[in-house]
Structure 1
C-alpha cells in the first residue's frame, strides 16, 4: 500500500493511504499504486458522465444552454455568484424554479461568497449547494424528455436510471456489479473498482478525442474550468493550466478522476 505522509517538525503526523489506477480504453492497467481494484464510490467524479445525456438527447441545444452552463452541470462548485446565477439560468431555461431542486441548502463553500450572503441578510438556499448545477441539469433532462421532474432524485426515476446506464456504458461493468448508495446531495451514487472507474474516464476521453458527444462535455469543462469548481479549487486550477490537454473531476472522500486527451488513458 502506498502512503502520503504529513510531516510536521520532522515528525510524521499522519499517513493517508493512496490507491491509483491508470487504465486505457481497453481496460488494460497502465500503471498503479496501492490497490487498483479497491472498491469505492465515484461520488461527484461521475458528473461528466451524468451530464452527457443533456447533450446526447439534444436538450442542451433545445433549451439554449451555454457551454458555461453545461460545464456547471459537471460541477462541485464554490457557490460563487457565477455558479448560483448559472444554476438559476438552467432552471429558467427549463421552465421551472429553484424550489424543484432536491439538493439541500448549505452555505457557499467559498468563504467570500458565504460572507457576502450573511452581509446581505440572506439564508443559504438550495442553489448554493455545491451540486446545484448537476441537479439543475437533471431537472432539465427530465423536462426535456417529458418525464415528471418532481421526484427526479429517486432511484427508480427515469433520470436516475439514465445515470446508471451512463456509468455502465463508460466503465464496461454490468449494472449488477455497480453497487449504489445515496450521495450527499440526495441522488443515486455508484461504486466501482478503481481500475474500472479509471476505464470510464479513459473511454470518455477517447470518445471526446474521436469527436463523439463526450467532446462537448470535455470542451465545456476545459473551456470554463471556473464553472467546474471555482476560486482555489484543484479541478479549476489544473484545467486552467493544462487547457484542453486534460479534464479532471473530484469526488468526495478523496476520489479524483481524469482523462489525458490524445492518449486514451484515464
Structure 2
C-alpha cells in the first residue's frame, strides 16, 4: 500500500529536528541535526521529528530487502540455508573469520567460488569474504545461480537480480520499481534514494507478520545478532539486549532503521551530517520515548554508546511528536 495522502502534503506544520550535542567536560563541542519518523504498515506517518520527506540513500539498511530475493527465489531453500545464512545475507559485518565462514557457506552450498564475489577486499592482503557486505553478495550470486542469471554482471542495475530487488521494494512502497532512484553503493551494488518515511514503511513491513520472506529474515537477524554487525557494534548489541522485540539495521552516512516485531511499526533516522555517533544517540533516545525497551536495557546501551571517549558525552534534545495529519 502506498503512503497516505497526508504524507505528501506541503501544508503540514513543521516539527523541529532532533539535536545531538557532543559535550567535552560538559561544554558543547559539536551539534548534529537529525530527522526521524515512525510509520505503520499502511504508510501512515504516526510520529516525526524534522522532515519525513527527507531524501537519502538507504545504504546498508536496505540489505534485508536485497536479501529478500534470496528467499523468494527459492535459492535459500534449495541450498538448505539456515538462519545463520539468512542473517549474514543481511549483515554489515566485521569481517571476522566467523563472518567470512558464513558468507563462504552460502557460496559453497550454491557451487560458487570466492573469486566470483565483486565486493572489494577491505585490504590488499584480504579476501573479499572479509568485506562487510560479503554475505549480501554471496546471497546475490546464489540467487543468480538458482535463476540461471548471469553471474559476472550481477551488480548492474539492469541485471534481472537487481530488477527483482527494485520490484520487491516497489511493491512494499506501492509504486513501480522502475521509478526508484538508484546509485552505486561503496560495495558496488545499487542502493536506493527514497524518503525517510518510505524507509520507515519498509521496516514496518520487516517487523510485521504479513510478509513471510521478510519475517524469516528478521527472525534470523534477531536469532544471530552477532552476525549482523559484530561484537560491541551497535546493531548487534541492541538486538542482543532487545528480547527479540526490535530489529536494528544501520547504514552509512547517518542512516538507522528499526522495526518493532509483531506490531507493524518502523522507525527511520537520518543524521544530516552523516555522523554515526549521532544516529546511535538518537536511536536510544527514541527507543526510550517509544518505550520499546526496558529502562535497564537502555541504561546498559547508553553506558556503552553515549560516552565515545574520556570526558565526552552525547546528549539528545527534542522528541518525536504525534503527526496531526495522520489518519
User: When the two structures are superposed, what TM-score results if normalisation uses the length of structure 1?
Assistant: 0.90
Give per-residue Cα distances to partners, 1:138-172, cap 9 Å, x unaligned. 00000011112111011111111111112212223
Greater shift, 134-143 or 211-220, is seen at: 211-220
Question: 1:229 aligned to 2:229?
Answer: yes
SS of residue matched to 1:257: strand
Moved more, 174-183 or 42-51: 174-183
- Asked if 1:87 is matched to 2:103, the reply is yes
Which of 9, 14, 27 is the equivalent residue of 2:30? 14
**CA RMSD in angstroms, aligned pairs only:** 1.4
Whether 1:39 and 2:41 are equivalent positions in the alignment is no
SS at 1:139 equivalent: helix
Residue 244 of structure 2 aligns with which residue?
Answer: 244
Q: Deviations over 1:92-141 (max 9, x none)?
A: 1111111111111104xxxxxxxxxxxxxx91121111000000000000
State how far apart, in whole Å, the 2-side matches of 1:73 and 1:67 are. Answer: 10
Q: CA deviation at 1:218?
A: 1.0
2: CA distance between counterparts of 1:202 and 1:12? 35
1:23-34 matches, within 5 Å, as 23-34=39-50
**Distance in 1 (alpha carbons) for counterparts of 2:65 and 2:84:** 16
More deviation, 243-252/68-77 = 243-252
Q: SS of 2:135's equivalent?
A: helix
Structure 1 residue aligned with 2:154? 152
What does 1:60-75 correspond to in 2, within 5 Å?
Answer: 60-75=76-91
Give a deviation string over 1:191-223, Cα, whole Å, max 9, x none. 1110111111112322xx246222111111111
1:98 to 93, 111, 114: 114
- How many corresponding residue pairs? 250
The 8 Å contact of residues 223 and 243 in structure 1, kept in 2 or not, is answered as no
Question: Would you tell me which structure has more helix in proportion to its own residues?
Answer: 1
The correspondence of residues 86-165 of structure 1 with structure 2, limited to 5 A, is 86-107=102-123, 123-165=125-167
* Counterpart-to-counterpart distance in 2, 1:88 and 1:105: 14
After superposing the two structures, state which structure 1 stretch, 135-144 or 1-10, moved more.
1-10
Q: Output the CA distance in 2 between the equivalents of 1:90 and 1:76.
A: 16
Are the counterparts in 2 of residues 170 and 201 from structure 1 also a CA contact under 8 Å?
no
Matched, 1:2 2:4: no
* Runs of 5+ consecutive residues of structure 2 not aligned to the other structure: 1-16, 267-327
* Residues 191-202 of structure 1 aligned to structure 2 (within 5 Å): 191-202=193-204
Give the structure 2 partner of residue 169 of structure 1.
Answer: 171
Asked if 1:264 is matched to 2:280, the reply is no
Structure 1 CA distance for aligned equivalents of residues 59 and 261 of structure 2: 23
Secondary structure, aligned partner of 2:158? coil
* Cα distance in structure 1, aligned partners of 2:140 and 2:231: 25
Contact 1:22 1:30 (8 Å CA) reproduced: yes
Does the CA contact (< 8 Å) of 2:168 and 2:177 recur in 1?
A: no
Cα 1:197/1:148, change in 2 over 3 Å: same
Runs of 4+ in 1 over 3 A off after TM superposition: 173-177
- CA–CA distance in structure 1, aligned partners of residues 102 and 260 of structure 2: 27
| 8 A contact 1:54–1:141 mirrored in 2 | yes
SS at match of 1:243: coil
Q: TM-score, normalized by length of structure 2? A: 0.74
